[in-house]
């Protein structure tokens, strides 16, 4: 559901000095200081005066909007489908990659999976459990499945894939609305829009303020257009697990590229999509309609090994995550690496890549209305400092420095 500004509590006072400011696809002509008071940006100007508080040295760095990752299955050994109560632990680690807001993602499983995740996130919000000022913001759940095309399961367990059910989705929404803290519990549903009943589900969720994305789909271009007319606004991991482009049948891929509004999530790890294909999508969609996602699994931050993704065992080797059958199963991509990859693959500017990593995903999930994904006065002070190699130097959420490995706080 769209996130009102007051759903993100105010935090700290901070002055970020001496960085080059990048936002909205352009860089400032001169270096500027960024001032935050009570967690909100108050000034972006040279030699800006800030309130008493900490100062973060941004000399030699570029200051960009904090990254917004709308597809995070897990990280650092934690699989969020199996352990949604550990969302705060993932939130505390993602800031290492410049992420200041994210959608915990649960994949297809028994019909208990989504209700358990909603309850877990509700309890986390109610108790403030582990969501410290040193954590990325939690934007709400991304439910990937279970209403997927049987012929496009990817790594989702086929035995739990089922037809879209209005009654099941209504039960999720009733659970979301069961308390005073309903905001930001359910953010995105990935669904195959060609399935019987899918359009009614899309319509219901659109009216409830929940983003719907086409994914794991065999939809034709006509079926994608019909879903878009009912409220579909995005596509989950473009090119992967969907009907491909053909010159007589454009499929889900062609429909997305031809659409005037659909936002396409892309996993820019060089494994899921060839760099040349990403260049094609970039030329057609640009930063306005490409949302970088990690689709990270529990292996993120840990390297090679065997990990769980819901009920599926995933083996990670040489930067690729695959099931025992060899099917790609999420990634070990971090968002800062996705930014570097996009620049390398397309030749785009840092500011354009950061728009795809922050502004556009925030807009897709409805968080832009709460001020996320942009650097502008009056908006939450969520920002990331990158060095000349575009490595993360510091991460700030709500004016609180969450990650500072070089000790730049003065």
Residue 11: is it exposed, middle or buried by C-beta count within 10 angstroms (0-12/13-18/19+)? Answer: buried
Q: Are 27 and 382 in contact, with CB atoms under 8 Å apart?
A: no
Give dist(CA 21, CA 29) in Å, integer.
9
> Is residue 1 pLDDT above 90, yes or no?
no
SS3 201: helix
- Which residue shows structure tokens 């060089």? 270
Structure-token pair, residue 222: 């006509």
Annotated active-site residue 111? The verdict is no
Residues 6-22 pLDDT 10s: 344 446 799 999 999 98
Q: Are 140 and 184 in contact, with CB atoms under 8 Å apart?
A: yes
Question: Between 275-289 and 335-346, two packed helices, what is the crossing angle to 10 degrees?
Answer: 110
Tell me the pLDDT band of 4, cut-offs 50, 70 and 90: very low
Which one is predicted more confidently, 252 or 319?
252
Which one is predicted more confidently, 28 or 172?
172
The share of the chain scoring above pLDDT 70, in percent, equals 93
DSSP calls for 115-179 = HHHHHHHHHHHHHT-S--TTSPEE--EEEE-SS--TT--TTS-GGG-----HHHHHHHHHHHTTS
- CA angle 338/343/346 to nearest 5° reads 115
Please name every residue paired with 33 in a beta bridge, in sequence order, or none if there are none.
45
What are the phi and psi torsion angles at 333 (to 5°)? Answer: -80, 135
pLDDT score at 125: 85
The share of the chain scoring above pLDDT 90, in percent, equals 85
- Which residue shows structure tokens 């009056």? 378
Residues 160-217 pLDDT 10s: 999 999 999 999 999 998 865 555 799 999 999 999 999 999 999 999 999 999 999 9
Upstream peptide bond of 371 is cis (omega within 30 degrees of 0):
no
Give dist(CA 326, CA 257) in Å, integer.
28
Give dist(CA 185, CA 364) in Å, integer.
16
pLDDT score at 3: 46
Residues 72-101 pLDDT 10s: 999 999 999 999 999 999 999 999 999 999
Average pLDDT over residues 280-296: 98
- Any idea of the CA torsion for 20, 22, 28, 30, to the nearest 10 degrees? 0
pLDDT score at 180: 59
What are the C-alpha distances in Å from 177 to residues 118, 120, 122, 123, 153? 10, 14, 10, 14, 30
Q: Which residues contact 40 (CB under 8 A, 6 or more apart)?
A: 10, 377, 378, 379, 380, 381, 399
Q: Which domains are seen in the chain, by residue range?
A: 6-63+378-403 (2.30.40.10), 65-370 (3.20.20.140)
Give dist(CA 400, CA 10) in Å, integer.
10
The b/e string for 50-88 (b: 16+ C-beta within 10 A; e otherwise) is beeebebbbeebbbbbbbbbbbbbbbbbbbbbbbbbbbb
Q: Output the pTM of the full model.
A: 0.95
- Mean pLDDT for the chain? 92
Among 218, 269, 295, 382, the active-site one is 295
pLDDT score at 8: 46
pLDDT score at 360: 97
């Amino acid at each position: 559901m769209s996130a009102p500004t007051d759903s993100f509590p105010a935090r700290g006072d901070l002055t970020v000095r001496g960085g080059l400011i990048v936002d909205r696809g352009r860089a400032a002509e001169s270096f500027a200081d960024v001032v935050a008071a009570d967690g909100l940006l108050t000034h972006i100007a040279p030699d800006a005066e800030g309130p008493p508080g900490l100062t973060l040295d941004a000399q030699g760095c570029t200051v960009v909007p904090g990254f917004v990752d709308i597809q995070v299955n897990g990280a650092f050994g934690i699989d969020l489908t199996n352990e949604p109560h550990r969302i705060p632990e993932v939130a505390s680690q993602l800031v290492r990659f410049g992420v200041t807001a994210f959608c915990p993602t649960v994949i297809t499983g028994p019909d208990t999976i989504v209700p358990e995740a909603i309850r877990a996130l509700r309890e986390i919000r109610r108790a403030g459990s582990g969501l410290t000022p040193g954590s990325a913001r939690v934007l709400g759940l991304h439910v990937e499945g279970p209403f997927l095309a049987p012929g496009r399961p990817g790594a989702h367990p086929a035995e739990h894939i089922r037809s879209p059910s209005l009654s099941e989705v209504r039960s999720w929404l009733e659970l979301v609305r069961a308390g005073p803290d309903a905001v930001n519990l359910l953010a995105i549903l990935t669904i195959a829009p060609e399935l019987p009943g899918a359009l009614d589900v899309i319509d219901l969720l659109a009216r409830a303020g929940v983003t719907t994305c086409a994914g794991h789909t065999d939809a034709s271009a006509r079926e994608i257009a019909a879903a878009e007319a009912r409220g579909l606004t995005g596509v989950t991991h473009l090119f992967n697990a969907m009907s491909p482009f053909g010159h007589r049948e454009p499929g889900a891929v062609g429909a997305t590229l031809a659409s005037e509004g659909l936002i396409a999530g892309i996993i820019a790890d060089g494994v899921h999509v060839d760099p040349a294909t990403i260049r094609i999508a970039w030329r057609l969609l640009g930063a306005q309609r490409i949302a970088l996602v990690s689709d990270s699994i529990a292996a993120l931050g840990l390297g090679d090994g065997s990990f769980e993704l819901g009920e599926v065992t995933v083996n990670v080797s040489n930067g690729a995550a695959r099931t025992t059958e060899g099917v790609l199963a999420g990634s070990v991509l971090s968002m800062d690496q996705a930014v570097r990859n996009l620049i390398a693959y397309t030749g785009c500017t840092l500011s354009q890549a950061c728009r795809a990593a922050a502004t556009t995903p925030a807009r897709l999930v409805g968080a832009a209305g709460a001020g996320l994904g942009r650097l502008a006065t009056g908006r939450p002070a969520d920002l990331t400092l990158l060095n000349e190699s575009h490595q993360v130097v510091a991460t700030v959420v709500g004016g609180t420095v969450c990650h500072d490995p070089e000790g730049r706080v003065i």
